[in-house]
Structure 1
Amino acid sequence: MDKVTQAIGGTCQNDPICSAFAGLLDNATWAPLVAVAITIVLIIMLAFVLRNLVHRIITRVVNRAATGGSITSRFRKNAVPDGIDALLHERRKQRAETMGSVLKHVASIVILGTATLTVLDRLTIPIAPLLTSVGILGVAIGFGAQELVKDFIAGMFMLLEDQYGVGDVIDAGAAVGTVEAVTLRITRLRDVDGRVWYVRNGTITRVGNESQGWSRAYVDVPVAYDTDLTKVRALLEHVAEEIWADAELRESKIVEQPQVFGVEQLSDSSLVFRIAAKTLPSAQPEVSRELRIMVKAALDTAGIALVATA
């Protein structure tokens, strides 16, 4: 016990803060022990204060990153629908909160780990063997958990680059479906059959996102060779103007006025026209169905029959 007391006393003398506390206690025999105890308490308190301060700063940065002005005005010349703004806001919020959580964990580990090592040093416990052991253990864990580390790194870059988010319809290679949850390790998808897929982020080598920015709905209209092409084009352009005039569709689903691309394909039995519309993300199926109904009604009214394609 005397050796420990002497070692702590020697450590206290080399520490200006500890020696100052010992001086306040008139350098009594027990003064170094009390001074070291006070120093350790101050280190722990400072570590937690610093941790809380860093967490507050991270939270403030996250809240600022989660909010922002609309970037969707480029899709419209006039008003921008609230739906896409809300979607982008949620994506920003989720990405910022996830990265904020990671930064808070890293900050906690660094600050509290440094405080622990400092306390051990004040107690004259050798930390060099401990650091060596931790280093060896880290290397062993790194080799044994390579896939886990790969998943986490891929998940961080996916969030930073905003490749996809909750609610997006994506093709992740292994599965195609709607994203229900995103973590640093896995992405959870639900396909059209209701099946839930858990895909590790490290195994995703490419992603096709059908819900980012805007989508395109199109309908192919096959007609016979002897059909008046000018008349068909005029009918489809009228349909495009009519669907654009629908206030409900224009405000909630369609971004730009639909366009008629003209003859898209030639076959031995038909000519194929195409009408397309730029839509909000994931709204193309609804707009495509509406286009089919309106195109069919217009062709029936004009007495133009559709031709089956091979």
Structure 2
Amino acid sequence: MLMLVTPTAPPSSSPDLDLEKASQAMAQACQNDPICSSFVGMLDNATWAPLVASGVTIVLILVLAFVVRNITHRIITRVVNRAASSGSIAHRFRKGAAPDGIDVLLHERRKQRAETMGSVLKHVASIVILGTAVLTVLDRLTIPIAPLLTSVGILGVAIGFGAQELVKDFIAGMFMLLEDQYGVGDVIDAGAAVGTVEAVTLRVTRLRDADGRVWYVRNGTITRVGNESQGWSRAYVDVPVPYDSDVASVRELLEGVAEKIWADTELRESKIVEEPQVVGVEQLSDSSLVFRISAKTLPSAQAEVSRELRLRVKSALDSAGIALVGSA
């Protein structure tokens, strides 16, 4: 006699069973945690106590993470403010004091660099602290984090290989900021472009050249930088006079021009760092003698000082009846 056997479907887990297993897992994890187990004891070891204690522990973990994050940000801000308000650099100059303008300018450079580094450190601290808190919460919820960490590691390696140029740009930007190679307002030669720095980030540097063209230069592609605005600059003016001119008289005339410029209070306080010097005869030919006047100036002020020197030299030579030969 044949008997028909109807196949039965395998038993499926019900939501109540899954919830019960999750509750048991959380209760087991709570027992291994002294803080969570203390909350369970405070709740008289009730059946629902592990769930409530786990929830309270998770909230405490998140609150603690945000508190630590805020404290870290405050410490970074304090360090940044201290770095941005470091002492005067007047002692670097020969006369013992520098114009107030150079201190103000370098203070702004320090402030910009410190604020940029502070922003980077704050982002790194937030990622580390909050990332650790999230992983701790997932572990508290009995969610296995080992596969997650493995996946993140593999993803990081893949991104590292696929974005090598981006990583190179960021690393170059970090060292550029730490070494204070240039800042906003500096006139630099970055190889690919020459111009005034308008913005500096960890990835790119934005320049504007003399024609008004804006250049975006990736930090990783900059192999050398010529900074015309760091610390101080130097203005040169060459004065060609006839070959038969009296050297002592011309030198005395030019030294008088240098003394008058140094005596100009407005120029001394806003543009010139040290008294201009008459170097002497810089070039000699069969038709002319070329004298040179040199002046140490504030960063990027050399062009203005050179123009002022030329005007005063021209006026002095005209008064003395000495003609210029060729062009300086």
The number of residues matched between the two structures is 310
1:243 and 2:258 are equivalent in the alignment: no
2:125: which partner in 1? 107
- Mapping 1:169-248, distance limit 5 Å: 169-248=187-266
1:270–1:309 Cα contact (<8 Å) kept: no
Any idea what the Cα deviations from partners look like across 1:30-67, whole Å, max 9, x if unmatched? 11111111111110111011111111111111111111
**Worse overlay, 121-130 or 299-308:** 299-308
1:126 to 144, 151, 155: 144
Task: Please state if 1:256 is matched with 2:274.
Answer: yes
- The counterpart of 2:182, out of the listed 158, 164, 177, is 164
Q: Counterpart of 1:298?
A: 316
Deviations 1:202-260 (A, max 9, x none): 11111111111111111011122222222211111111112111111111111111111
Aligned equivalents of 1:78 and 1:2: distance in 2? Answer: 79
Could you say which residue in structure 1 is the equivalent of 2:48? 30
Query: Please, what TM-score do these two structures have when normalized by structure 1?
Result: 0.96
- The structural deviation recorded for 1:171 is 1.0
Contact 1:269–1:309 under 8 Å retained in 2: no
Match of 1:67 in 2: 85
Letter of the 2:62 partner, please give it.
I
1:216 touches 1:284 (CA, 8 Å); kept in 2? Answer: yes
Counterpart check, 1:274 vs 2:283: no
Task: Report the equivalent of 1:308.
Answer: 326
TM-score by length of 2: 0.91
1:92 aligned residue (95, 107, 110)? 110
- The question of 1:12 aligning with 2:30 is answered yes
**Aligned equivalents of 1:304 and 1:81: distance in 2?**
34
- Counterpart Cα distance in 2 of 1:86 and 1:280: 11
Gaps of 5+ in 2: 1-18
SS at match of 2:238: strand
Q: CA deviation at 1:76?
A: 5.8
Q: CA deviation at 1:269?
A: 3.1
Distance in 2 (CA, whole Å) between partners of 1:215 and 1:138 is 45
Instruction: State the distance in 2 between where 1:92 and 1:190 align.
Output: 22
Question: After superposition, what is the alpha-carbon deviation per residue over 1:241-292, rounded to whole angstroms, capped at 9, x for unaligned?
Answer: 1211111111111111111111112334322111111111111111100111
Matches within 5 A, 1:49-64: 49-64=67-82
Contact kept in structure 2, 1:179 and 1:188, CA below 8 Å = yes
Query: How many angstroms apart in 2 are the aligned matches of 1:299 and 1:283?
Result: 24
Give unmatched runs, 5+ long, in structure 1. none
Q: How far apart, CA to CA, are the structure 1 residues paired with 2:327 and 2:195?
A: 29
1:138 alignment partner in structure 2: 156
Rounded to whole Å, the distance in 2 between the matches of 1:71 and 1:97 is 20
Letter in 1 for 2:202: L
Measure how far apart 1:113 and its partner are: 0.5
What secondary structure is seen at the aligned counterpart in 2 of 1:264? strand
Kindly indicate whether the alpha-carbon contact (under 8 Å) linking 2:251 and 2:280 is maintained by their aligned counterparts in 1: yes
**Could you tell me which amino acid in structure 1 is paired with residue 114 of structure 2?**
A
Q: Is the 8 A contact 1:170 1:208 kept in 2?
A: yes
Identity of aligned residues (%): 85
1:91-115 Cα shifts (integer Å, max 9, x gaps): 1111111111001100000000000
Query: Offset of 1:13 from its aligned partner?
Result: 0.9
